[in-house]
Structure 1
Amino acid sequence: MDDSPRTLHIAAWDDRFLAWLLDVLLVGVVLSALGEAAGVFSLLTGSLSVTTPFTGLNGLGLFVYWTVLEGRQGQSAGKMVMNIAVTDERGEAIDYGTAAIESFGKAFLLPLDILVGWLAYDEEGIRLFNKLSSTIVIETDEEDGKPTDVEYVYPDDK
């Protein structure tokens, strides 16, 4: 058993923002398409109303999306693209309950969640709801998940 400490690289705020933006766009497009197809979107929001990612169906859709994906695999689509993941403070996978707590802040209270994080936990690089759920967002290695006894030869390597 190796007693040396594990090194975890906390994800940068800009990577986290880009992952969040990708997720908001993805979920927004899906919800809009489903809402338009069902004829419900305009009834719920009004044809001229402006919604934010933190209200109504968008907030609920984002909350469910992040809770399910991050509780299952630690990564949403945006996090996969940016090679970052949500873990517990030891770098281990989180469960659905922990993901729900962590996701609540960014789905419904993001401005407050980030502001408190920047003011109170800037050194740790976490949001308020990361603190409440004992989670961190770390950089992932692109090589994770690949077998160690296999060498891949890519088309440009020939």
Structure 2
Amino acid sequence: MDEIIVLSSWGDRFWAWLIDVLLICLIWYKIIIVLEVGVFTISGILLLSSLLFIYWTSLEGYRGQSVGKMFLKIAVTGPYGEQIRFRDAAAESFGKAFLLPVDVLMSLILFQRSRQRLFNKISNTIVINRTEIE
């Protein structure tokens, strides 16, 4: 069987992102209660961003998929469908976790056709659906 690389839609990527953020927000909320940190303070937002960064880097570096991506059957890969390294996952995750508005805006302006966010471009990664043909 051969594999065809099909880029994931922006919609699938958004829903995967939302699932991941909601999942991590449950953990984050428990932590901010214990630490008595305000939700909308710099500390609270940095904590959430840091948790998301660690989560995405770990899962996407290990298997190319976060929980949200698993549900939507999409994955982060190298440009030819190969598994990415942890450093690629870290670079790609940094944009999502800490600079999402800038990352998405630059993507829509510069990389809309390739469906890459700025930090996908920097890390040389893509997000794909896998389709097998016989």
Output the TM-score relative to the length of structure 2: 0.90
Deviations, residues 59-104 of structure 1 (Å, cap 9, x unaligned): 0000000000000000000000011000000100001111000000
Contact 1:88 1:94 in 2 (8 A): yes
User: Aligned-pair distance for 1:51?
Assistant: 5.8
Deviations, residues 1-39 of structure 1 (Å, cap 9, x unaligned): xxx9x6210000010000000000000101212343xx2
Q: How many residues align?
A: 131
2:105 alignment partner, one of 98, 106, 115: 115
Give the Cα–Cα distance (whole angstroms) in 2 for the partners of residues 55 and 94 of structure 1: 28
In proportion to residue count, which structure has more helix? Answer: 2
Give the Cα–Cα distance (whole angstroms) in 1 for the partners of residues 10 and 41 of structure 2: 25
Q: Name the structure 1 match of 2:23.
A: 26
Q: Name the structure 1 match of 2:59.
A: 69
2:89 paired with 1:99: yes
Letter in structure 2 aligned against 1:23: D
Letter in structure 1 aligned against 2:6: H
Structure showing greater Rg: 1
In proportion to residue count, which structure has more strand? Answer: 2
2:79 paired with 1:79: no
2:12 alignment partner, one of 12, 15, 38: 15
Q: Name the structure 1 match of 2:114.
A: 124
RMSD: 2.2
Give the Cα–Cα distance (whole angstroms) in 2 for the partners of residues 55 and 136 of structure 1: 27
Q: Unmatched 5+ residue regions in structure 1? A: 144-158
Give the Cα–Cα distance (whole angstroms) in 1 for the partners of residues 84 and 4 of structure 2: 18
Q: Unmatched 5+ residue regions in structure 2? A: none
Letter in structure 2 aligned against 1:31: W
Identical-pair percentage: 45
Give the Cα–Cα distance (whole angstroms) in 1 for the partners of residues 9 and 94 of structure 2: 21
User: Aligned-pair distance for 1:56?
Assistant: 1.0
Give the Cα–Cα distance (whole angstroms) in 2 for the partners of residues 15 and 64 of structure 1: 22
Which residues of 2 match residues 127-138 of structure 1 at below 5 A?
Answer: 127-138=117-128
Output the TM-score relative to the length of structure 1: 0.76
